[in-house]
Each structure stands twice: as structure tokens, then as C-alpha cells.
Amino acid sequence: MKTGFIAIVGQANAGKSTLLNSFVRQKVSIVSPKPQTTREQILGVWTDEDSQMVFVDTPGFLRSKNALGDYMLKSIDNAVSDVDCILVAIDGHDGIDERELSQIERYRKQGAPIVVAVTKTDISQPKLLMPELAKLNGMEGISEVYCVSAKRNKGVEELKQALKKYLTGTEMYFEEDDVTDKSQRFAVSEIIREKVLLACENEIPHGVGVYVNKMQQNGNAWEIDATVIVEKASHKPIVLGKRGAMIKNIGIHARESIEKLLQASVFLTLWVKVKKDWRNNPSMLNELGYTNRGK
Ligand SMILES: Nc1nc2c(ncn2[C@@H]2O[C@H](COP(=O)(O)OP(=O)(O)OP(=O)(O)O)[C@@H](O)[C@H]2O)c(=O)[nH]1
Ligand SMILES: [Mg+2]
């Protein structure tokens, strides 16, 4: 049995979480077109007959502007230390820029082998991609470069198989049927946050936190009560929408996804509350779990 950890890092929106979900064939990390969707390390576990691969999803790179940003940066640093391989996701349709190259340079210092996954090849133009790939192939410190489309499931299996050779462990870290290290409660709060991100524009998504107040199973149904926290009073009416239409819509989509996750009926109640500047408030960050939640 070969086992080990593979950190997935890269710019915000590069497709890291989509790739992680594709590796483990289940949605364990939320996805949205908004940058900074992922806020902390999330493990996705893949076990087959000869290996256990633990993929570590991370927040995209950011310039931290508050305590939550500091936490997110710390979780990237944390994720790349002591892993068997660092998988750098680069958005193939966006092109490769200096930021990506300098980050690869930084990772080289960690000592783990670096593999590059050029993502979103389904929407990249081959003519523009070729010179970029040549740039990467010639770069010192990169062990391999793979092109994938996680959305179309192209190249993902090949990449996963190729990553097995970097595993250095022999002991299983998780049970055979585990897919993530996170709890159901965490998954529920993240699903609600994902639906808010998909529904809201501008700066609102960055200042949204979700707290699950109650999660109770009654027979084959779950009663869930959660609060969507916004950081400015002016954001509350936007998230609520005209006569509550927006939050109702968020609730409908969240409920559908949670029902899929829990394989049961769900009664979901959502509240919206303002907690001014919560991203800089240590006790709020703690309450929302941006410390060590989900375990
Ligand atoms: N067309 C296409 N879109 C993709 C692919 N992979 C990801 N996306 C889209 O790219 C956007 C960002 O995807 P995420 O997986 O959330 O990206 P991320 O790198 O985890 O982003 P952060 O957590 O914000 O750092 C979403 O809208 C995805 O649907 C792909 O293979 N093809
Ligand atoms: Mg992500």
C-alpha cells in the first residue's frame, strides 16, 4: 500500500476545488466563480486497492486584508509543509503569468516534488496554451506537467495515476470509505455559503460566513437552522432580497444540495445577521470555525 499527502495550490479560481472533487469523485469542497471560495484546508481522500491519496485543497493566493485573510494564508503554508507532492493548479484559459512562476519558485524551497496541472483545457485555446506549456516544461523544479479539464473529467484519472509514484507512506491515514476529514455540519455550512456566493455579486461574498445553529435528525428528516452572517448593515437587505426573495432562493438551492448530501428530507431555516467587520474579530472567527473546525 502506498499512501501520502498531495497539496493542491494555486491562484484563486484556478479550479483547485473542482479538481479535488474530481480526484475523489465526490463533492467535498465547494466551487464558485468567485475568487476566495475556499477558506481553509479541506482534505479529500481517495483509496483504491494499492494506494491511499490524501489531497489537500487550499485557499487561492490572496493579499490578506484582515484576520480571516491571515488565517487563509497560514492554511496554504500549512498545507504545503510535509507533503509528498505539491500540485500547482494553473488556469490554462487565463494564461500563465509571473505570479504563478514566482510561486513555483517559492515551493521549490519546500523540497517536495512539484507537479503542474494546467486546468480548464475545455475552454483554453490550444494556440495560446502551447507556448505557455513550453514555458513550464522548461522550468527547473517542475517534475511533470499535465493538462486537465476537471469539468469534463479529461486527464484527471491519468494525473491521479501519475501522482501515485510520489507517495512515500505505507500506512493508511483514513478508513477505506472516508472521503474527507470534515464533518457533516461543516459540509452543510459550506453548501449554504456556496449558494450565497452563487447568488450574490460584488463584495458581499467575501464578507459572508455561515453558522449552523441546529442540526437535528428526526427519523428520515433533518431539521437545520443556520445563520448567514454579513459584515455590513447594507449587505443584509441585499442578501434578503425584495420581500425575502433572495434568501428564499438561496434556501431552496441549499436544501436541494443538503438533501443529496444527507440522503434525507431537509427542513432548512435561514437567518441573516449583521456582525460588523467579523473578519477581523477573533471571537467571531473562532465561532465560525476559522480555527480548527470540522474535525
Ligand atoms: N470550463 C471549466 N471551468 C472550470 C473547470 N474547473 C473549474 N472551473 C470553474 O472555475 C471556477 C473556479 O473553480 P474552483 O474549483 O472553485 O476554483 P478554486 O481554485 O478552488 O478557487 P478558490 O477556492 O476561490 O481559490 C468555477 O466556476 C468552476 O466551475 C474546468 O475544468 N473547466
Ligand atoms: Mg477552492
Residue nearest to atom 6 of ligand 1 (CA): 15
Residue nearest to atom 27 of ligand 1 (CA): 33
Name all residues whose Cβ lies below 6 A of ligand 1: 12-18, 31-33, 35-38, 59-60, 119-120, 122-123, 149-151
Domain 184-287 has CATH 3.30.300.20: yes
Q: 58-96: per-residue pLDDT in tens? A: 999 999 999 999 999 999 999 999 999 999 999 998 888
Residue nearest to atom 16 of ligand 1 (CA): 31
Q: What is the mean pLDDT of residues 260-279?
A: 97
Q: What is the mean pLDDT of residues 233-254?
A: 97
Q: What residue ranges of the chain are covered by domains with CATH 3.40.50.300?
A: 2-166
Q: Is the confidence at residue 211, as pLDDT, over 50? A: yes
Domain 2-166, CATH class in plain words: alpha beta
Other beta carbons within 10 angstroms of residue 84's beta carbon come to: 21
Phi, psi dihedrals of residue 247, rounded to the nearest 5°: -70, -30
Q: Mean pLDDT across the chain, nearest whole number?
A: 94
Q: Is the confidence at residue 293, as pLDDT, over 80? A: no
Q: Is the confidence at residue 294, as pLDDT, over 70? A: no
Candidates 253, 230, 193; CA nearest to 40 is 193
Helices and strands counted in the chain (H then E): 9, 9
Q: What residue ranges of the chain are covered by domains with CATH 3.30.300.20?
A: 184-287
Local confidence band at 295 (pLDDT 50, 70, 90 cut-offs): very low
Q: Is the confidence at residue 49, as pLDDT, over 90? A: yes
Local confidence band at 132 (pLDDT 50, 70, 90 cut-offs): confident
Candidates 1, 117, 82, 90; CA nearest to 48 is 1
Rounded to 10 degrees, the C-alpha dihedral 277/282/285/290 comes to: 140
Q: What is the pTM of this model?
A: 0.96
User: What was the pLDDT predicted at 292?
Assistant: 60
Q: 106-126: per-residue pLDDT in tens? A: 898 888 999 999 999 999 988
- Backbone dihedral region for residue 254 (phi beyond 0: left; psi -120 to 50: alpha; all else: beta): alpha
Which letter does DSSP use for residue 11 in this model? B
CA 139/CA 3 separation, integer angstroms: 28
Local confidence band at 99 (pLDDT 50, 70, 90 cut-offs): confident
Residue 154 C-alpha cell reads as: 479529461
